[in-house]
Structure 1
Amino acid sequence: MPRSAAATSTGRATGPTTLGELLDRGRAQGHLSLSELRDAFTRSGIDSAQARSILRELAEAGVRLATETENTGAEAPEMTANTTTTSRTRTTARRTKGAAKSATTTRTGAKSAASAGGAAVLAGHAKAAGGGRGRARAERVAAVDERWAPGEAELDVLADDLEAADEVTAVDAPAGAVDGAVTDGTVTDAVAEDDVVAEDVADDAGDAEDLDDDTSVMGDSVHTYLKSIGRRTLLTAEQEVDLAKRIEAGLYAEYKLENEPGLSEEDRADLEWIAEDGRRAKDHMLEANLRLVVSVAKKYTDRGMSLLDVVQEGNLGLIRAVEKFDYTKGYKFSTYAMWWIRQAIQRGFADSARTIRLPVHVLEMLSKLSRVERDMHQQLGREPTPEELAAVLDKTPDQIEELLRTSRQPISLDSTIGEDGETRIGDLIEDVDSPEASEVVDRQLLAAQLREVLDNLSPREAKIMSLRFGLLDGKPHTLDEIGKRLGLTRERIRQLEKESLSKLRHPSNTRPLLDWAS
């Protein structure tokens, strides 16, 4: 049962004086005072790194941290179900703790509803806690489909999800709206006080984790991301099951909204709330397991992609795992999600890591080949031959050599080499398609000789010969094409071509071209 700051203060009066005893007491009773923890850190000379480690261990152990109220003797009068009020505005609760002592919110209603038996009552408290329709709405939500209603929730998980709303209007709740939150005529927990505790825990835990942030520059995006996800509390097995139930209920509610257009407005509103609650549960499970993705992604950082890119691919697999997780199998979510995360990362490498994309089965074979080659190198003390690798992998030596060629990473021709760094790789590679310098010179000399020979013909005859044999643009033209260009008939062009060739065959014109004919 959550404890208020007042309860924590009472425990401190008889608390131990050493840090070890304080931590033992916190683990035993499930809560500690932040100010008391700070004093113990100061007395024991704990530095920032040790403080972060201790806070992380306390969070994983489920120990709650609470602030102490300044005027415990001036607390507001005892609240009953008839005097319950709601104040969920965080800044107000933080600045006016005395007023917060006399307030309750829908969070208290949500906690008691969950413990009383199901998210159907939670729907009524969380969405209409202050109105007289709360119980009726809860009954309608339960009547939509009892089979898909989420099960009993862990109180803190539900409370944290309900805090996702940015603003909540303060209302007065009648006695019947929060009867589950009343024990022996008194409210068990004031949510405004609980909100102050939650925010102080977040703030002070962040201060303890970042004791040296004032003197450091958080310019590293990887470091910033890892610190941000490190503040999320890990889930217990019970919390995972509860979130999975809420996600399943939300998915079913979305299905009914899409496929049953004849629903009443009230049932549609209830289903929309269940669907939204499922989305909140999905976000909660995703954020609580982001560290699992990082732990897997660190093993793939040397394969051509940055850590953040690998984490992003793994997060896609995590989303898929959250959507398909079956809590009825009895396994932890991390066991199930690990496969999806690895699969998403491997697909990401197949699509993005290489300049030339390779099929997934080829990448798997390359991975297996690399592993076998590494093992054989350790056993033989030398590089294994393609024949030895082929015998182990049940492949032919030619297939092994082809895989080895495929495994090579392409490099840019603009990459520089040498000590000066000014020589490009492209400058050292021969272009087999470019002609040699001697060929270029010969072509230029031949063209000059042909122009000298054509000068012995008339301009019209020289143009006809140039077009006919492609001396101008490298493309030979037909008699019809030449005739249309010069405005002559096909037969006249043939006669002029015959006369031109007869002139060119004269020994005085052919002598300069004999060297090119040999």
Structure 2
Amino acid sequence: MAATDSSDQVLGAGESTSEASAPAQKTAKKTAKKTAKKTAKKTAKKTAKKTAKKTAKKTAKKATKKTTRKSAQKATKKAAKKTVRKSAATKATSPEAAKSSEDLAEDQTDELDADTTDDADIDFDPDNAEMDDEDEFGDDDDDLEGDDADEDEDDGSSVWDEDESAALRQARKDAELTASADSVRAYLKQIGKVALLNAEQEVSLAKRIEAGLYAQYRMDEMEKARAEGDKAAKLSPMEKRDMRAIARDGRKAKNHLLEANLRLVVSLAKRYTGRGMAFLDLIQEGNLGLIRAVEKFDYTKGYKFSTYATWWIRQAITRAMADQARTIRIPVHMVEVINKLGRIQRELLQDLGREPTPLELAKEMDITEEKVLEIQQYAREPISLDQTIGDEGDSQLGDFIEDSEAVIAVDAVSFTLLQDQLQDVLTTLSEREAGVVRLRFGLTDGMPRTLDEIGQVYGVTRERIRQIESKTMSKLRHPSRSQVLRDYLD
């Protein structure tokens, strides 16, 4: 009995303990939730404060950078333009001086814009900045450049006011007209950025170009075979991918080799200036020859690429000059003969101390004297009829050339009187005789007829028309009729 009572007491104590621990668990859960909420709120507040501080710092730095750039640009541009105005006002009588001052101001403005562009490329992000921040900086820089451009236009319209001198206005116009000449300078500056190649680099690029050309050839052949119905002519996806990659790499190597040798074209094109083609056109034609040289270059021969490309560039330039330089095109082979004649003529001039004769040139070229004269005629350049003549330049070449087709007033009057007198004389003849004379000599429409054509008109034979013509001409030769017309023979 005692054991049973003790066990009951233990069970009762366990039940009371479990009943007492249930409220404690609920209290612990509530406390944990409140603590978690407070911790989350504190963490969120701290994160928000940190983010706000970073954003404020970035915004302040951006605003400072913009303000500094704008102030520097405005101060430099205003100082340059004031210098131009002062120098132009001092030298108002010299348009060339004003023009040079304007060019100086434009160069300074260009340098400032270049510096601004360089500054815009500098990364200004703080540590641990994200890519979005960099994009924002790029957008801000673009907006800044747009604002600066608008301010430049506003400044230009305010500076060039009505009070500016005539010399300064003329200088501004001249600067705008000569802006096209800067294209050559810009081109030279652009090609100067590419570094020159050494012999090893040229060989490496040539090998890549050769591999790319072969890969492109293989793919073209496969496409051609498939178009003709050859089912076996097919490349696997991996082979096709490799071929395309090799061909793409070959094109990149070709462009690199071209860009690194563009300065060679410019140096050769300078030798052909002043011969009827613009300098930029000569460069363009030389670039076509350079492309051909890149495609034909054989690196296994051992010579440098520039040695090989020079001949292709020269050929392209000389062919273009032969086709385009002259107003009247001359065949290429004849242009070569003309150039040879000019070279021999200069050599003989130095040896003899005088201009060589056509006979001496013929002996030197091993051709006839008549052929030399013919070549010299081909070499002549056409002259414009509007070319001014004389020291004062008030006359043109066309004023001294006779117009053989022009109608002189005196001759026109005499011709009209002659026609009237001839009609009066023909009225003294019979109708048939006057008609035969008019048709025979084309006095009506200017088209003479044959005896057969006149016979068909009158329905008689050719011989009869000849007899009528002979009789009529005898009547016209009679002094009573011919004396009136004889005065017009002079």
TM range (shorter): 0.5 to 0.7
Equivalent position of 1:281 in the other structure: 253
Distance 2:240 2:252 in 1: 18
Distance 1:310 1:482, change over 3 A: same
Amino acid at match of 2:247: A
SS at match of 1:310: helix
Equivalent position of 2:205 in the other structure: 243
Equivalent position of 1:3 in the other structure: none
Any gaps of 5 or more consecutive residues in structure 1?
1-47, 53-66, 77-90, 98-214
* TM superposition shift of 1:383: 2.9
Q: How does 1:73-92 map to 2 (within 5 A)?
A: none
Amino acid at match of 2:396: R
Distance 1:72 1:337, change over 3 A: farther
Q: Which piece of structure 1 moves more, 264-273 or 490-499? A: 490-499
Distance 1:474 1:273, change over 3 A: same
Q: How does 1:479-490 map to 2 (within 5 A)?
A: 489-490=459-460
Equivalent position of 1:339 in the other structure: 311
Q: How does 1:98-177 map to 2 (within 5 A)?
A: none
Distance 1:359 1:511, change over 3 A: closer
Distance 1:92 1:257, change over 3 A: farther
Distance 1:309 1:402 in 2: 30
Matched, 1:357 2:368: no
Distance 1:439 1:277 in 2: 80
Amino acid at match of 2:426: L
Q: Would you say the 8 A contact 1:286–1:318 is kept in 2?
A: yes
Distance 1:483 1:268, change over 3 A: farther
Equivalent position of 2:356 in the other structure: 384
Q: How does 1:58-77 map to 2 (within 5 A)?
A: none
Matched, 1:232 2:194: yes
Equivalent position of 2:398 in the other structure: 426
Distance 1:482 1:376, change over 3 A: closer
Aligned equivalent of 1:472, options 414, 437, 444: 444
SS at match of 1:363: helix
Q: How does 1:245-324 map to 2 (within 5 A)?
A: 245-260=207-222, 261=226, 262-264=233-235, 266=237, 267-324=239-296
Distance 2:301 2:364 in 1: 38
Amino acid at match of 2:341: L
Distance 2:448 2:284 in 1: 60
Q: Would you say the 8 A contact 2:436–2:465 is kept in 1?
A: no
Distance 1:390 1:477 in 2: 52
Q: Would you say the 8 A contact 2:125–2:134 is kept in 1?
A: no
* TM superposition shift of 1:345: 0.7
For the aligned residues, what is the CA RMSD? 4.3
Amino acid at match of 2:274: D
* TM superposition shift of 1:450: 1.0
SS at match of 2:328: coil
Distance 1:249 1:286 in 2: 17
Amino acid at match of 2:459: T
Amino acid at match of 2:311: W
1:407-444 Cα distance to aligned partner (Å, 9 max, x none): 22111223232345443312212356778888766654
Distance 1:69 1:330, change over 3 A: farther
Q: Would you say the 8 A contact 1:461–1:496 is kept in 2?
A: no
Distance 1:405 1:268, change over 3 A: same
SS at match of 2:300: helix
* TM superposition shift of 1:394: 3.8
SS at match of 1:233: coil
Aligned equivalent of 1:325, options 278, 284, 297: 297
- How many residue pairs were aligned? 323
* TM superposition shift of 1:278: 2.1
Amino acid at match of 1:303: R
Amino acid at match of 1:352: Q
Distance 1:380 1:497, change over 3 A: closer
Any gaps of 5 or more consecutive residues in structure 2?
1-106, 112-120, 138-171, 227-232
Distance 1:343 1:475, change over 3 A: same
Amino acid at match of 1:314: G
* TM superposition shift of 1:339: 0.5
Equivalent position of 2:382 in the other structure: 410
* TM superposition shift of 1:347: 0.7
Distance 2:368 2:473 in 1: 63
The structure with the largest helix share of the pair is 2
Aligned equivalent of 1:512, options 436, 459, 484: 484
Larger of the two Rg values belongs to structure: 2
Q: Would you say the 8 A contact 1:480–1:489 is kept in 2?
A: no
Q: Would you say the 8 A contact 2:257–2:294 is kept in 1?
A: yes
Amino acid at match of 1:312: Q
Equivalent position of 1:127 in the other structure: none
* TM superposition shift of 1:312: 1.3
Distance 2:466 2:213 in 1: 88
Amino acid at match of 1:263: K
Amino acid at match of 1:404: Q
1:55-91 Cα distance to aligned partner (Å, 9 max, x none): xxxxxxxxxxxx9977898699xxxxxxxxxxxxxx9
Distance 1:314 1:381 in 2: 37
Distance 2:255 2:127 in 1: 41
Amino acid at match of 1:308: L
SS at match of 2:288: helix
Q: How does 1:440-479 map to 2 (within 5 A)?
A: 443-457=415-429, 462-478=434-450
Amino acid at match of 1:230: G
TM-score normalised by structure 1 residue count: 0.52
1:309-347 Cα distance to aligned partner (Å, 9 max, x none): 111111111011011011122222111100100011111
* TM superposition shift of 1:304: 1.4
Distance 1:69 1:414, change over 3 A: closer
Identity across aligned pairs (percent)? 52
SS at match of 1:318: helix
Distance 1:285 1:248 in 2: 13
Distance 2:287 2:486 in 1: 76
Distance 2:466 2:355 in 1: 76
Distance 1:366 1:468, change over 3 A: closer
Amino acid at match of 2:234: L
1:228-248 Cα distance to aligned partner (Å, 9 max, x none): 222222223233222222221
Q: Would you say the 8 A contact 1:314–1:344 is kept in 2?
A: yes
